[in-house]
Structure 1
């Protein structure tokens, strides 16, 4: 059976669906959200991370790399990802742990075995397993097998999804799942593109289909400063949700938990130094959804 590429398995999650859960993070995502808190999830491949603060410039990584993908320029280590073959010899040779990596290939059986370690907690709390990412549906064949195996043990399976999945694939996977935690980022397609590099028509179509077909869906809005956090945005988003038949929505206030990861990946972070949002900052925003007949909570 084909393996899938993951970058984390987080136990005792309480924010990724009902009860106590194990969250399995798959690599790969078609969106490039400016605020993404898991930038290491976007590419469906193993990635090197470099922490300049830990580096002692011993140059063992430069000398070890068989593809000359690592160089030392102007006192800094530089990684050419186009040359890197993910042999990870550089990581093994790094004496200061300045180099690490994200992503490993795992079988369905390996993941299920890890999840089963906490099955008693799922049963006691009404929890289960949540597939996340990245985009949880980015590896569809692997995901189908994983869901099927988890269901053999009567484990509730939820997914965190962007909804930006080819329609037939989305429908097949959605019908297998017990809960869709469905991100809704903007009502305006062009504005959606500005923040994520994709338009939103396919997302809205998939959301509407899932609700109409009685699949359990919880729309969730990541509230991002300067992107969708105005009262006007709340009006537009609430009207969109009402139009597709949604009854409730969860707000996810912007945070800075992923900022350090951009530095380790050698990437610019567009929302650097933007203040995180608190629940109390969004009470007026939340009331717009309530006034439009939606149950709205954090």
Structure 2
């Protein structure tokens, strides 16, 4: 039996994705993440609840949002809107009333059944392309009951399931969800524990342990490495990653060159972006880095 009435907090449902598992896929993005990666392209995923984003380009500076807010969570600093996460109840009154549509409430609670129903609209595309549904985030394993219910319901419909995960959760939580997955897209940030903590705020112990346990259990695991300039892109780093991957039993890794796709979201959240002046990487920039993995017997690809 599946619990389709189980609810979870999501912030996006992206159809016709080609980059998060095989075939044509629907990607369900869940709110909440244990990491605080400085380069994160989905910073709105980090906070577990609903939150307001402010678009300065649309804002009329009319002050209506601040006047409407019963919690005094909205204020003006110069010509900028500031939103207090601690005070905001995410009621959405200000967003619905904004004449310039400058405020957006990010995050809604959905049932597993409602998401499955939406995904079934594209069942023909999944079947023709050997695609399916991928959970992403954020970190889906911060909502383990919902993720398990959703994945179980999808599998009952014959839909291929995948999850993009940091693996930064206790093993018992990881193991409670993994049986319902056909593929684990396992993000790895840094091979060195201190550098991992420096870039993400957390140790790499749990990710490495959970990745190894999944591989040993016979799960299909694809490690994925976001290559970040000045953080994990040296040939020394490639050697360190290769060693960690071999220890875990992995034989391949997907390299994800750094990009700036999420930069504007930081402005909308009123947050500083650590990589604002950092140029994006292209595949041709990483050929020597990729070769270092190949030299160690790890199939590295883009």
Secondary structure in 2 aligned to 1:137? helix
Shift of 1:59: 1.2
Q: Which residue of 2 aligns with 1:141?
A: 145
Shift of 1:276: 0.4
Shift of 1:73: 3.4
Shift of 1:78: 2.0
Deviations 1:145-199 (A, max 9, x none): 1011101110000000001011111012112210000011111000000000001
Secondary structure in 2 aligned to 1:144? helix
Question: After the TM superposition, which of the residue ranges 24-33 and 166-175 deviates more from structure 2?
Answer: 166-175
1:86 aligns with 2:90: yes
Kindly report which structure 2 residues correspond to 1:219-298, keeping only aligned pairs within 5 A, or say none. Answer: 219-298=223-302
What TM-score do you get using the length of structure 2 for normalisation?
0.97
Shift of 1:63: 1.3
Kindly report which structure 2 residues correspond to 1:105-120, keeping only aligned pairs within 5 A, or say none. Answer: 105-120=109-124
Q: Which residue of 1 aligns with 2:79?
A: 75
Secondary structure in 2 aligned to 1:16? coil
Kindly report which structure 2 residues correspond to 1:12-23, keeping only aligned pairs within 5 A, or say none. Answer: 12-23=16-27
Distance in 1 separating the partners of 2:206 and 2:36: 16
Kindly report which structure 2 residues correspond to 1:197-212, keeping only aligned pairs within 5 A, or say none. Answer: 197-212=201-216
Shift of 1:88: 1.0
Secondary structure in 1 aligned to 2:142? coil
Distance in 1 separating the partners of 2:127 and 2:108: 29
Gaps of at least 5 residues in structure 2 are none
Q: Which residue of 1 aligns with 2:180?
A: 176
Runs of 4+ in 1 over 3 A off after TM superposition: none
Distance in 2 separating the partners of 1:34 and 1:74: 27
Distance in 1 separating the partners of 2:275 and 2:138: 19
Shift of 1:53: 2.2
Aligned residues, how many? 298
Q: Which residue of 2 aligns with 1:40?
A: 44
Deviations 1:75-103 (A, max 9, x none): 33222221111111111111011111210
Gaps of at least 5 residues in structure 1 are none
Question: After the TM superposition, which of the residue ranges 152-161 and 166-175 deviates more from structure 2?
Answer: 166-175
What TM-score do you get using the length of structure 1 for normalisation?
0.98
Distance in 2 separating the partners of 1:112 and 1:216: 23
When the two chains are superposed, the root-mean-square deviation of aligned CA atoms in Å is 0.9
Shift of 1:28: 0.6
Distance in 2 separating the partners of 1:233 and 1:12: 34
Q: Which residue of 2 aligns with 1:25?
A: 29
Q: Which of residues 55, 61, 77 is equivalent to 2:59?
A: 55
Q: Which residue of 2 aligns with 1:103?
A: 107
Shift of 1:74: 2.9
Secondary structure in 1 aligned to 2:133? strand
**Residues 155, 180 of structure 2: 8 Å contact kept:** no
Q: Which of residues 159, 163, 178 is equivalent to 1:159?
A: 163
Q: Which residue of 1 aligns with 2:220?
A: 216
Secondary structure in 2 aligned to 1:143? helix
Distance in 2 separating the partners of 1:80 and 1:160: 30
Secondary structure in 2 aligned to 1:78? strand
